[in-house]
Amino acid sequence: MPEKVSPLRALRHRNYKLFFGGQLTSLVGTWLTITATRWLVFRLAPESEAAELLGFVGFAAQLPTLLLAPFAGVIVDRVNRHRLMVLTQILSAFQSGALAVLALARLITVPQVIWLSVFQGVVNAFDMPARQAFLVEMIEDREDLPNAIALNSSMFNGARLLGPAVAGALITYFGEGICFSVDALSYLAVIAALLAMTIKKSAAPAVERRHPWHELKEGVAYSFGFPPIRTLLFLVTAISFLTMPMAALTPIFADRLAAAAPSDVALAGVKVQHGAFAYGALMAASGLGALCGSIFLARRQSVLGLGRVIVFCCVTLGLGLVGFAQSHTLWLSALALVAAGFGMIVVLASSNTILQTIVADDKRGRVMSLYVLGFMGGAPLGSLAAGQCAKAFGEARTVAVSGILCVLVGVLFGIALETVRTHIRPIYRDKGILPEVVPDAAAPEIRR
């Protein structure tokens, strides 16, 4: 019987434990800002333009990542990732602080939100690949890396569960400004955690200094020339694109669900307040599903079998989106988002885990920047498409079609899965994940 492995084993690494604690606090604040920003835009926008503006704000926030992520990956592979992360956290705190001041002074406008979202997008273009690449430096034992990635997802989605629920209450009673203020202060936790780390000199990336353009081309050629990495990057991009209609348009669904509740008929002014509660509840439901997915991954003892899990969860995600689009009650909509959140995070985190396992160390920053490009880069196009399609065809049809396409993406990945396995098996054998010699009859073991 195999030895039971702790689902929290990555926390035995001191630097990762510090990072986990600081990030958990900061990410709750981040979800406060995400929730408050979308609701603020929905509240300030004319009713006829709400869907379009929500889509455009999402587009503006993610566009810098789409443009800068590949170049950011080159920089991440050339500089001290620890210092870079300290800088990005300070700049993110500044952005949240600016939103707080403008909102509390009642001076904030949609254009200001857009420009500050663009600024945060520029910061994220460097922060996210640095965060992904720095994770390996915090984990001395590479066998704990899949668990660390799963715990990261658990941390992110625990915050995603708590943050929107708290934001819904704070927005209702105090307004969006208090959410931005709490977020700005929460960055102090992660900055303090980063400064408390003990970083070995050898942990800084040592690379041969060549022209950045050459390194960029080398990273792209490596990533797209290797079928498993190429397939996973396309998968992440497609899922990111197709889930943005749900994320961008949820405030509109929440407001309609609140308007349909009997308690909202009596007091016109209460509708928006209940809409904020409903929005927080829907966001929290998606976060609950994602948290369950993260816990599911954290309890897994091996990277083996994640391909089949990805196929199943693409289908789960798609069906959840279709159910959400067709629902007319809050509880059923929340249940559908639990399923969608579970499927989405398992697909994205599993893809991340496989990539981190198979990528060459000297190209890790560049490959993970392409992962971020797919994850975050698909989002602006998805947000823009969501706004335009919702205006032309309606919000429900837009989300339903995106769900159907998620199922199709899962089917296509399933078709490509055997080719992916064929290329990955030698790497797993070299790293001891699979035995050195695996008879052909035992090859299906990877499918479990």
**Structural domain contains residue 317:** yes
**What is the phi-psi region of residue 5: left when phi exceeds 0, alpha when psi lies from -120 to 50, beta otherwise?**
beta
**Structural domain contains residue 4:** no
- Residue 93 has a pLDDT of 93
Domain that holds residue 144: 9-200+210-447
pLDDT at 264 over 50: no
Q: Which residue has the higher pLDDT, 348 or 215?
A: 348
Across 71-98, average pLDDT: 85
**Structural domain contains residue 1:** no
- Specify the range with the lowest mean pLDDT, choosing from 96-105, 235-244, 250-259: 250-259
pLDDT at 235 over 60: yes
- What would the pLDDT profile of 138-167 be if each residue is shown by its tens digit? 776 666 676 777 777 677 767 766 777 788
| Rounded (5°) CA angle 12-14-16 | 85
- What would the pLDDT profile of 184-218 be if each residue is shown by its tens digit? 999 998 898 888 887 776 444 444 556 666 666 77
- What would the pLDDT profile of 171-186 be if each residue is shown by its tens digit? 878 888 999 999 999 9
Q: Using an 8 Å Cβ cutoff, are 45 and 53 in contact?
A: yes
The token pair at 166 is 């708290």
CA dist., res. 130 & res. 30, Å (int): 18
Q: Is 207 helix (H, G, I), strand (E, B) or coil?
A: coil
CA dist., res. 378 & res. 390, Å (int): 18
Q: Using an 8 Å Cβ cutoff, are 121 and 64 in contact?
A: yes
**Structural domain contains residue 2:** no
pLDDT at 448 over 60: no
Across 413-426, average pLDDT: 86
- Residue 445 has a pLDDT of 39
**Structural domain contains residue 205:** no
- Residue 90 has a pLDDT of 94
From the CA atom positions of the chain, what is the Rg in Å?
Answer: 21
The token pair at 72 is 């950011």
CATH number assigned to the domain comprising residue 193: 1.20.1250.20
- Report the range out of 71-85, 257-271, 372-386, 392-406 with the highest average pLDDT: 392-406
- Residue 212 has a pLDDT of 60
**What is the phi-psi region of residue 217: left when phi exceeds 0, alpha when psi lies from -120 to 50, beta otherwise?**
alpha
- Residue 377 has a pLDDT of 63
- Give the C-alpha distances (Å, rounded to integers) separating 333 from 273, 278, 297, 322, 427: 19, 10, 25, 10, 42
Q: Is 441 exposed, middle or buried (0-12, 13-18, 19+ CB in 10 A)?
A: exposed
pLDDT at 263 over 60: no
pLDDT at 83 over 50: yes
CA 137 from chain centre, in angstroms, equals 21
**Structural domain contains residue 137:** yes
Interhelix angle for 364-393 vs 110-138, to 10°? 150
- Report the range out of 54-58, 81-85, 128-132 with the highest average pLDDT: 81-85
- What would the pLDDT profile of 317-332 be if each residue is shown by its tens digit? 999 999 998 888 888 8
**Structural domain contains residue 3:** no
pLDDT at 315 over 80: yes
pLDDT at 380 over 70: no
DSSP state, residue 347 = H
Average pLDDT of the chain to the nearest whole number: 78
CA terminus-to-terminus distance, the chain: 17
- Residue 389 has a pLDDT of 81
**Structural domain contains residue 316:** yes
pLDDT at 1 over 50: no
The number of distinct structural domains making up the chain is 1
pLDDT at 269 over 50: no
CA dist., res. 340 & res. 399, Å (int): 12
Task: Provide the percentage of residues in the chain whose pLDDT is more than 70.
Answer: 80
